[in-house]
């Protein structure tokens, strides 16, 4: 990829070449690379962009981050805006309009031909996080009586506008999806063959109201390039393509990770977020967890007398808290990720719980044994070693049980399991395990 037109090379070319040469060359450059080059440009973007043809500008806006789309379009006068957006795919136009003020969006829509505007309005009625919200309406429908050659001739006329040609769709007179045929099957077959027998009638489709995360799971399962979207009567509405979903998977995983780290969701990249934006993303959960942690403090206060008489007891609090937190994080991460990937289901709960009880027993005994030796060697106090190790074993078992249970309860209650991750579990396990530790210390160690 060394001598390709990318980055600084491409920018230099755009600055140095005459407009007609730019036009021919840009057809071969991916819009993602043009965007990269523009980002390196320190002059006024419009000086470069004004020399680009409308279809390239449309492709650049489609490729840009959501928050930049409107900004790029706004560089152009009204007539040219209409020209650019009429080159955009329906799903991308919807994304663009959704970033705009409603008045501005409606003004742009009115400049489009009536039929196109209607189609876009129809698309905007779907929840943006569903199959309907990310689908494009440009697909190719064919009739099953066609031969291979007739199909190819049909594509020569009607194929250009389609979002994807990987699959062609067979619909009945009411638009109900009846079959699908892969373009690759057509192009490897003789011209005079009839396509009827090649049609797959066992079509895998998704409902328009299906959540995009579920759609992405179907893509992952089947490895398709695109999937047809239908309404509740199996009427075909559009297609979702794999590259739309690639982005969804990344986005949803990032959201899960944010929740697991006690962060509010942010649409923007870290470096593009201001200091106050970042602070806002973090402060709610930190406050909530800080106040929750004071319960643990109250528990400790209840044992002031014991702690005052045997201050060494306080020295084991950090180790118990950290181990409980870590053991809980391990299992909650496995469960949350497993559920997100569809590998662990609610009905597996008792299987998971039984597994965790046995795992925590093994892990807990090993940790307790190591800890017993350590305390014995350094403090020469077997009863103390016993007390701390017993509390540690209890902490490990408890954290594994809480760590696998909370995410699954959340799922059952239709709350995102990712919210039941490390920070909340740590807070709960801390309170419980310190209670047990101090109780054991009081009854076994001090009063014995």
Contacting a second copy within 41-80 (CB under 8 A): none
127 binds a second copy, rule: CB under 8 A: no
Q: Report which secondary-structure segment, H or E, holds 179.
A: strand 177-182
Quick check: 172 binds a second copy (CB under 8 A)?
no
Burial class, 296, CB count within 10 angstroms (exposed 0-12 / middle 13-18 / buried 19+): buried
Residues 145-164, mask of contacts with a second copy (x by CB under 8 A) = -------x--xx--xx-x-x
> Which of 78/354 has CB closer to a second copy?
354
Q: Does 298 help bind a second copy (rule: CB under 8 A)?
A: yes
* DSSP 8-class letter at 2: T
Q: How far apart are CA 137 and CA 236, in angstroms?
A: 9
Size of the site for a second copy (CB under 8 A): 124
The correct pick among 8, 46, 141, 312 for binding a second copy (CB under 8 A) is: 312
Asked if 373 is part of the footprint of a second copy (rule: CB under 8 A), the reply reads: no
Question: Which position among 330, 376, 432, 444 is part of the footprint of a second copy (CB under 8 A)?
Answer: 330
Q: Does 344 bind a second copy (CB under 8 A)?
A: yes
Residue 372 interacts with a second copy (CB under 8 A): yes or no = no
Question: To the nearest whole angstrom, how small is the minimum distance from the Cβ of residue 271 to a second copy?
Answer: 6
Contact 387, 442 (CB under 8 A): no
User: For a second copy, which stretch binds (CB under 8 A), given 51-59, 126-134, 301-309, 440-448?
Assistant: 301-309
Q: What is the DSSP string of 195-251?
A: SGGG-B-S---EETTSBHHHHHHHHHHH--SEEEEE-TT-BEEEEEEHHHHHHHHHH
Q: Closer to a second copy at the Cβ: 25 or 82?
A: 25
Q: Which is nearer to a second copy, 128 or 247 (CB)?
A: 247
**Contact flag: residue 366 with a second copy (CB under 8 A):** yes
Q: What is the pattern of x (binds a second copy, CB under 8 A) and - over residues 73-112?
A: ----------------------------------------
- When asked if residue 323 is in the footprint of a second copy (CB under 8 A), the reply is yes
Q: Any idea which residue has 């066992």 for tokens?
A: 202
Strands 141-142 and 167-171: parallel
| Beta strands 206-207 and 177-182, pairing class | unpaired
Judged by CB under 8 A, does residue 137 bind a second copy? no
Q: What track of x and - describes contact with a second copy for positions 238 through 277 (by CB under 8 A)?
A: ----xx--xx-xx--xx--xx-xxxx-----xxx---xx-
Taking the least distance from each CB to a second copy, the nearer of 82 and 330 is 330
- Segment interacting with a second copy (CB under 8 A) among 43-51, 69-77, 83-91, 213-221: 213-221
User: How far apart (Å, rounded) are the C-alpha atoms in residues 440 and 266?
Assistant: 44
**Is residue 89 within 8 Å of residue 132, measured between CB atoms?**
no
Minimum Å gap between C-beta 113 and a second copy is: 22
Please select the residue that binds a second copy; options are 29, 84, 88, 120, rule is CB under 8 A. 29
Residue 400: C-alpha distances to residues 328, 384, 394, 425 (Å): 5, 25, 10, 10
Q: What is the DSSP letter of 346?
A: G
| Shortest Å, Cβ 133 to a second copy | 18
Interactions with a second copy, residue window 392-431 (CB under 8 A)? 396, 422-423, 426-427, 430
Backbone phi, psi, residue 91, to 5°: -65, -35
Tokens 């140095």 correspond to what residue? 16
Stretch that binds a second copy, among 52-60, 91-99, 107-115, 298-306 (CB under 8 A): 298-306
CB-based contacts of 369, cutoff 8 Å, min separation 6: 389
Interface pick for a second copy out of 16, 20, 28, 192 (rule CB under 8 A)? 28
Separation of alpha carbons 131 and 221, rounded Å: 16
Q: Does 38 bind a second copy (CB under 8 A)?
A: no
Q: How far apart are CA 310 and CA 389, in angstroms?
A: 17
CB of 103 to a second copy, least distance (A): 32
CB of 34 or CB of 85, closer to a second copy:
34
What is the side-by-side order of every strand in the sheet holding 177-182? Answer: 141-142, 167-171, 177-182
Structure tokens at 369: 């044994």
| Binding-site member from 4, 50, 106, 118 for a second copy (CB under 8 A) | 4
Judged by CB under 8 A, which stretch of 49-57, 73-81, 105-113, 216-224 contacts a second copy? 216-224
Give the residue with the Cβ less far from a second copy, 81 or 238: 238
- What whole-number distance in Å separates Cα of residue 109 and Cα of residue 74? 15
> Does 206 sit near a second copy (CB under 8 A)?
yes
Nearer to a second copy, 119 or 252 (CB): 252
Q: Which two tokens stand for residue 172?
A: 């009945």
Separation of alpha carbons 306 and 296, rounded Å? 16
């Amino acid at each position: 990829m060394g001598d390709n037109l990318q980055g600084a090379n491409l920018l230099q070319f755009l600055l140095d070449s005459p407009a007609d040469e730019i036009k021919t060359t840009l057809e071969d450059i991916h819009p993602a690379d043009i965007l990269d080059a523009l980002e390196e440009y320190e002059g006024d973007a419009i000086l470069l962009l004004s020399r680009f043809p409308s279809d390239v500008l449309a492709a650049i806006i489609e490729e840009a981050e959501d928050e930049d789309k409107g900004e790029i379009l706004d560089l152009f006068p009204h007539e040219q805006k209409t020209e650019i957006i009429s080159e955009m795919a329906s799903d991308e136009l919807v994304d663009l309009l959704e970033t705009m003020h409603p008045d501005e969006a409606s003004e742009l829509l009115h400049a489009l031909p009536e039929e196109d505007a209607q189609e876009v309005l129809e698309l905007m009625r779907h929840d943006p996080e569903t199959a309907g919200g990310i689908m494009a309406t440009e697909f190719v429908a064919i009739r099953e009586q066609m031969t291979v050659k007739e199909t190819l001739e049909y594509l020569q006329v009607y194929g250009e506008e389609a979002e994807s040609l990987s699959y062609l769709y067979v619909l009945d007179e009411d638009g109900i999806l009846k079959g699908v045929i892969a373009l690759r099957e057509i192009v490897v077959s003789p011209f005079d063959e009839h396509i009827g027998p090649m049609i797959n009638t066992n079509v895998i489709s998704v409902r328009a109201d299906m959540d995009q995360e579920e759609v992405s799971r179907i893509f992952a399962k089947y490895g398709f390039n695109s999937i047809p979207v239908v309404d509740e009567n199996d009427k075909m509405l559009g297609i979702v393509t794999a590259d739309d979903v690639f982005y969804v998977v990344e986005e949803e995983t990032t959201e899960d990770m944010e929740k697991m780290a006690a962060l509010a969701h942010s649409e923007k990249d870290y470096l593009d977020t201001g200091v106050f934006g970042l602070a806002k993303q973090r402060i709610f959960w930190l406050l909530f967890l800080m106040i929750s942690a004071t319960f643990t403090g109250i528990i400790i206060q209840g044992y002031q007398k014991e702690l005052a008489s045997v201050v060494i007891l306080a020295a084991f609090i950090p180790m118990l808290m950290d181990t409980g937190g870590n053991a809980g994080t391990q299992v909650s991460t496995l469960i949350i990720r497993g559920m997100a990937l569809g590998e662990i289901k609610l009905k597996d709960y008792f299987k998971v719980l039984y597994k965790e009880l046995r795992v925590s027993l093994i892990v807990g005994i090993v940790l307790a044994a190591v800890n017993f030796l350590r305390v014995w060697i350094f403090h020469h106090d077997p009863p103390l070693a016993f007390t701390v190790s017993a509390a540690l074993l209890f902490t490990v078992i408890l954290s594994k049980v809480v760590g696998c249970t909370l995410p699954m309860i959340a799922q059952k209650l239709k709350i995102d399991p990712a919210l039941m991750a490390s920070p909340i579990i740590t807070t709960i396990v801390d309170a419980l395990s310190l209670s047990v530790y101090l109780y054991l210390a009081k009854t076994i160690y001090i009063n014995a």
